[in-house]
Structure 1
Amino acid sequence: MKDIWKKVSIFFLAMLIVSFSGCYNASKEKKEKTVAEQKENLVIWAYYETQAQRNGLNELVKNFNQSQNEYEVEWEYVPMTGFVKGLSSAYTENKLPDMAILDNPDTPSLIRLGMFEDITEQVKNWNLEEEYYQSILNTVKYEERYYGLPLNCNSTALFYNKHILEEAGVTPPSDWQELKEAAEKLTTKDRSGFLMCGMEGEQGAFQILPWILSAGGTVDAIDGLPWTETFEFFSELLKSGSMSANCINLTQTDVAREFNEGKTAMMQNGPWVLPMLKEAGTDYGIVSLPENGSPAAVLGGENIIIIKGKNAEGSLVFLNYCMENEELFKFCKSASILPAKISAAKEMAAEDEDMKVFEEQMNYAVSRTSVPQWETIAQKLTDRMYSLVQEN
């Protein structure tokens, strides 16, 4: 009889513990939910499409949310091709986010439209002029006022498949003639020697512009001989089959997929594709883009801005968290992009051999916003590439 009562007592004690534990957990979850509900919600729009970029932003947002009890940030994906149009539409419909992470050449025109918060007074002690690359900092300035902060920066370089080049006895090219000869030698029935993104829009124009600058073009004079030489060079690559005509249909991410699949031996691309290459196990190398007279690079990267009329106070807390902590470095490292802060970019290049070329190119990288009427020029660049494909 005693054994029965002992077993019953143990059973009820166990049930009591389970019940208490369940109540405790429920109470804890309810408390956490209540805290989250009390926070002010902040929304960011971003067009990040690679998994590494998304993971980096997810981690940045999560860490910020856990660091304080006032604001809860979330980010929403908006495709790059319709990003600016989406902001404009949302502006008229009053459905704007609090912040946006957008391509640096898109920033000045939207500043002039009055869409972004002037944060000059709030950041006057942040030493922006000393700590950030001037070329990208200029994209958030208008009439000596600041309307956002540079978040990250990048450029494009030449990636090559080490195994394919070694097998063919080809060394990474350093000038246009070497690239032409190498691409022809590396081209087979199932593989192009070289590939770039020539599609309509900002991505294609971003990849075409450095070739024109290397041929002697300047931000004030894109046309003329440099323009002619560049497109004649592209025409030769297309005519020989060394560059696929499909370049006008491929995003930069698509080009990286072709590279991973062995469909091209060399490609023009940026550091954001590095996680894709590493995950695929591709044996790659990176060198500066082949020159035609002088080295050239075009500044890429994003700025983070605050939408006028939205939660500026909370957004500034988030911007301060990003810029003043190690979070910016961790985010950029995860997303395989350079921080726009000079010291952080140099630190990353010292740690990561793959980033050295891109960090070095920041010393002479040209911003697209420095090109007068860039939007019109960008359209002409990709229109000409499309015409070349039709001609060849």
Structure 2
Amino acid sequence: MSALGMTAVLGGCGLTSGSDDVTLRLVAADYGDSAANNSKKYWAKLVDAYEADHPGVQVEVTVYSWNDVDREVKEMVDAGKAPDMAQIGAYADYAADDLLYTADDLLSIPVQAGFSSALAQAGQVNGAQYGMPFAASTRLLFYNKKLFQEADLTPPTTWAELADAAEALKAEGVKYPYALPLGSEEAQAETMQWLLSGGGGYTDGVSTYTIDSAENVETLTWLRDKLVAKKLTGPVAPGKLNRADAFAAFAKGEVGMLNGHPSLMKTAEKQGVEFGMVPMPGVDGESKATMGVADWMLAFKQNGHKEQVGEFLDFVYSEENVLDFSREYDLLPVTNPASDVMSAAAEDRDLKPFLDELALSELYPVGKTSWAEVSAEVKKRIGSAVEPGGSPEAILSQLQSTATTAESSAAG
């Protein structure tokens, strides 16, 4: 995807020609799936409304695809030309280098207190919030209603029921009874969803990596023996199957079950696939925790526009603007006031199950500068753990070693 720029102005110190005027520069990610709904249009409307009420402040927004935005911001920062704000996928490295304002520095008390507590906590490093959540998502188990009816199935609530359903779907000739995307695109997400449903996770919930825990070994061993070895995950090896391909197969009616986020609803509906959604099954019942994902807004200190940035972000996080963004892109609001509205609104009823899961969600350990390296290694290695003959214990041990080393390097 090519970068979508709202403005070519990226250099300079951020001051306009008027001595008291300020130009704020924001780099943002594109959430759209077509030219008709790219994020450039969302920001243009929001900025027009803001500038109309704030003479003397201009906001220049540059929108890049998700393939490019994190790299573009890093290059700007490395060149000494940090934007005032960046809406991207991670914040920990910049926080560790003391380049960011905290939320306390910027936001009014009502706005800061309005963030979902789980998301606000995930944005903290050593008790200070540097990452301001901008968009959120959770996962549910999607199932194809037609295929389930043909196999006389009800949605699973336990791992055993999921495996039995997959067996029945395979017997009916379903191509992917359960799609298990552990390919390089987003293996860390599918893995985390399963680890949580098995009572484990990447960390102990506080600060220590526990990748090689007994619970995690048991989870991957179950996946290897009960799904993959029995050929219940389709013709493509999980380590070669990417999320986008699994979603496309679901929209074609080729998948019985898979973990999905809200955007899959629209994709499936366009193709006429009737689907249901239920919480992720756990070992003995509904999973006690689910995976949440957040993208982040961060503010760099380099240009010194603390007051103007804070006022603009208060506007960005107003209930109306958070609702507009969430509804446009089928994402979950990151503030409690907007969540309350969506939970009660008939127009948002499709998103309510995901909203309900957000309260139970755990996020990646994004406050750790080591997470990027650990996540990359999960993407490379985890698929081999569930191959027939693979060793979950060995792979998880290797990943734990990677995490421990990366943590030591970060601390040093």
Establish whether TM, by shorter chain, passes 0.5.
yes
Richer in helix (by share): 1
Could you tell me how far 1:115 is from its partner in structure 2? Answer: 3.4
Q: CA deviation at 1:274?
A: 2.4
Contact 1:156 1:207 in 2 (8 A): no
CA 96–57 in structure 1, closer or farther in 2 if over 3 Å, else same: same
Alpha-carbon separation, structure 2, partners of 1:85 and 1:172? 41
The Cα of 1:337 is off from its aligned counterpart by 1.0
| Structure 2 residue 227 is the aligned partner of structure 1 residue 237 | yes
SS for the counterpart of 2:39 is helix
Q: Report what 2:261 is aligned to.
A: 270
* Matching residue's letter, 1:194: Y
Match of 1:347 in 2: 341
Measure, in 1, the Cα distance between the counterparts of 2:133 and 2:99. Answer: 17
Tell me whether 1:66 sits opposite 2:57 in the alignment.
Answer: no
Q: Is the 8 A contact 2:123 2:366 kept in 1?
A: no
1:141 and 1:61 map into 2 onto residues whose CA distance is 26
Aligned position for 1:228: 217
- Matching of residue 378 in structure 1 with residue 345 in structure 2: no
Alpha-carbon distance between aligned partners in 2 of 1:249 and 1:75, rounded to the nearest angstrom: 34
Structure ID, larger Rg:
1
Aligned length: 349
User: Which residue number in structure 1 is paired with residue 323 of structure 2?
Assistant: 329
Distance 1:162 1:279 in 2: 16
Q: Is the 8 A contact 1:299 1:362 kept in 2?
A: yes
- CA spacing shift, 1:301–1:253, aligned 2, 3 Å: farther
Contact 1:195 1:266 in 2 (8 A): yes
Task: State whether residues 39 and 63 of structure 2, in contact with CA within 8 Å, keep that contact through their aligned partners in structure 1.
Answer: no
Q: Give the TM-score normalised by the residue count of structure 1.
A: 0.78
Q: Which runs of 5 or more structure 2 residues have no equivalent in the other structure? A: 1-20, 205-209, 391-412
Alignment of 1:148-159 (within 5 A): 148-159=131-142
Q: How does 1:1-392 map to 2 (within 5 A)?
A: 40=23, 42-46=25-29, 48=31, 50-51=33-34, 55=37, 57-67=39-49, 68-69=51-52, 70-80=57-67, 83-94=69-80, 96-103=82-89, 106-129=90-113, 131-187=114-170, 191-200=175-184, 203-217=186-200, 219-220=203-204, 221-235=210-224, 236-244=226-234, 245-293=236-284, 294-310=287-303, 314-351=308-345, 352-369=348-365, 374-375=371-372, 377-379=374-376, 381-382=378-379, 383-389=381-387, 391=389
RMSD: 3.0
In the TM superposition, what whole-angstrom CA distance separates every residue of 1:113-170 from its partner, at most 9, and x where no partner exists?
A: 23323342331423523x2222211233334433342222221110111111111111
Secondary structure class of the residue paired with 1:299: strand
Measured after TM superposition, the shift of residue 288 of structure 1 is 0.5
Task: Give CA deviations for 1:213-245 in whole Å, capped at 9, x if unaligned.
Answer: 222225323423212221122213222221133
* TM-score relative to the length of structure 2: 0.75
Partner Cα distance (1:254, 1:312) in 2: 43
The 10-residue stretch of structure 1 (203-212 or 142-151) with the greater mean CA deviation from structure 2: 142-151
Per-residue CA distance 1:43-94 (angstroms, 9 max, x = gap): 3231536349x827344312223212442443322434x6544433332224
Distance 1:345 1:249, change over 3 A: farther
3-state SS of paired residue (2:280): coil
SS at match of 2:256: strand
Separation in 2 of the partners of 1:190 and 1:332? 34
Q: How far did residue 325 of structure 1 move? A: 4.3
Runs of 5+ unmatched residues, structure 1: 1-37
Letter in 2 for 1:137: A
Query: Does the Cα contact within 8 Å between 1:328 and 1:339 map onto a contact in 2?
Result: yes
Change (3 A) 1:110 1:370: closer
More deviation, 139-148/106-115: 139-148
Secondary structure at 2:141's aligned position in 1?
Answer: strand
Instruction: Report if the CA contact (8 A) 1:156-1:298 is conserved.
Output: yes
- TM-aligned CA deviation for residue 384 of structure 1: 2.4
Identity of aligned residues (%): 20
Tell me, in whole angstroms, the C-alpha distance in 2 between the residues paired with 1:318 and 1:256. 36
1:108, distance to aligned residue in structure 2 (A): 2.6
d(CA) in 1 for partners of 2:306, 2:272: 44
- Whole-angstrom CA distance in 2 between matches of 1:128 and 1:39: 24
Number of the residue aligned with 1:24: none
